Amino acid sequence: MHQKEVARSEELQEKRAALALEYELAEHHYDFGGRPFIFLSVLDSYALLDRISPEEFVKDEQMPYWAEIWPSAITLSTFLSGERPLQGLRALELGAGVGMVSVVAASKGASVYATDYSLEALRFIQYNALKNGVDLEIARLDWRQVECPEKFDLLFAADVLYERVNLLPIVYAIDKLLKPEGEAYIADPRRRMAAQFVELAEENGFTVVPFAREYRGGTQAVSVNIYRITRKGAEGR
């Protein structure tokens, strides 16, 4: 085995052992664009609720949504791997969770900045990027107060439209982070909140086009919309 591969294998073992000390883990196998992927997540995200102190919840209302792989993330990964060329583009993921969409986008040639508010999530993103042999930039980002000075060709997010209080901050984050002719893709399982998000985005100078998809990997099919968001007039430039 090549020395680099040995070092990577050892790093993977160390990271997984460290995570196993703190979490019950689950490993998931997927295929996107004809390539196999393996992702590590938390076995039972509800078990993490006990980690959240009342003080932390009052401050952030932070729930461990990051710890699961949601149908919207799988659907968006499928979409990006098969329907949207990514080679050479600079991309950012909001609310990356365990990093599935970021890892898949990086495997298709995008230079990806994977972000999440949860510091716990960042550890899983690091592991999953290493496990699948892709390079990611990884950082904590609060979409309520974006401090990243860079602008990106692509933004993507999955299952982030679950609280009304998040909708306008996400619109503002897209506005701040997206290049003038850039595109954002947000996948959502057709929550009622998504319609409000679309209205807010259009009121703030964006055009939103939905792509209807269906996830069939579980016990029950899940309808998912992938919203393509561009600045009004951008396509004509």
Q: Look up residue 144 and give its two tokens.
A: 């309520």
Q: In the prediction, which pLDDT does 223 show?
A: 96
Question: In this structure, are residues 130 and 37 in contact, taking their beta carbons and an 8 Å threshold?
Answer: no
- How many Cα atoms sit within 13 Å of 166 on the Cβ side? 16
pLDDT at 195 over 50: yes
CATH number of 73's domain: 3.40.50.150
* 152 vs 3 pLDDT, higher one: 152
pLDDT at 27 over 70: yes
**31: domain range?**
3-236
Name the domain count of the chain. 1
Beta bridge partners, 207, equal: 230
Question: Where on the phi/psi map is residue 228: left (φ > 0), alpha (ψ -120 to 50), or beta?
Answer: beta
pLDDT tens-digit map of 128-161: 999 999 999 999 999 999 989 999 999 999 999 9
Q: In the prediction, which pLDDT does 55 show?
A: 57
Beta bridge partners, 185, equal: 156, 228
Sheet-wide strand order for 137-140: 137-140, 111-116, 90-93, 152-158, 178-188, 222-231, 206-215
